[in-house]
Structure 1
Amino acid sequence: MTPLQLFKLLADETRLLSVLLIAEQGELCVCELTCALNQVQPKISRHLAMLRKAQLLLDRRQGQWVYYRLNPLLPDWALSVINHTRQQNPAVLAPLQQKLCAMGERPTREASCCA
């Protein structure tokens, strides 16, 4: 991945917030992102497909859920940019995390996120 590719991907607000939230949470499914970002499922899925195609995200299926996570094989500089942005912008992520914690019927593996 080149810097130009990464920054083009992250120039869209939905993709940027999805990546930052996934980086913060470790992994999330589409339903969690639709709730946190207050967006419709087709829009979230379309953006996740772009991020997956660019190999920024990886996915895994667990039962009916598909979880997305950062690709651990991203170049160090790319992971650093994402993590630095996440760490330096808690005010951006806080309301999104509150929505996640208030979400009903989250996948079981995340049931204790707010404990």
Structure 2
Amino acid sequence: MDEKVLIVEGTNDRKRVKQVLEEDVDIVCTYGTLSAEKLENLILPIEDKDVYILVDADDSGESLRKQLKRELPNATHLYTLKGYGQVETTPHEYLAQVLRGYFLVKEMFKQ
């Protein structure tokens, strides 16, 4: 199965990523934290898919990443630069570079 799911923290992150992606990808927002209930509702439906994780380069993002690593050990982790901090403020060109190896990105962001 080649269904891809990208996990981000918030709706602004989702909007930012969608501006760069050429393909239609299921983008799931965690809204910062993962309760047991949210984990069950989020993780169970996507366990068999190709999961990618792109969270902010800050303390809360790293904490969320650690939790997701435990729950989804086979997920691919993608990173923005600490200097950009949040996914929603990462320049489109850099975001495209991060996503390019895994997703189709819009022509205008290809180098």
- Decide which structure has greater helix share: 1
- Decide which structure has greater strand share: 2
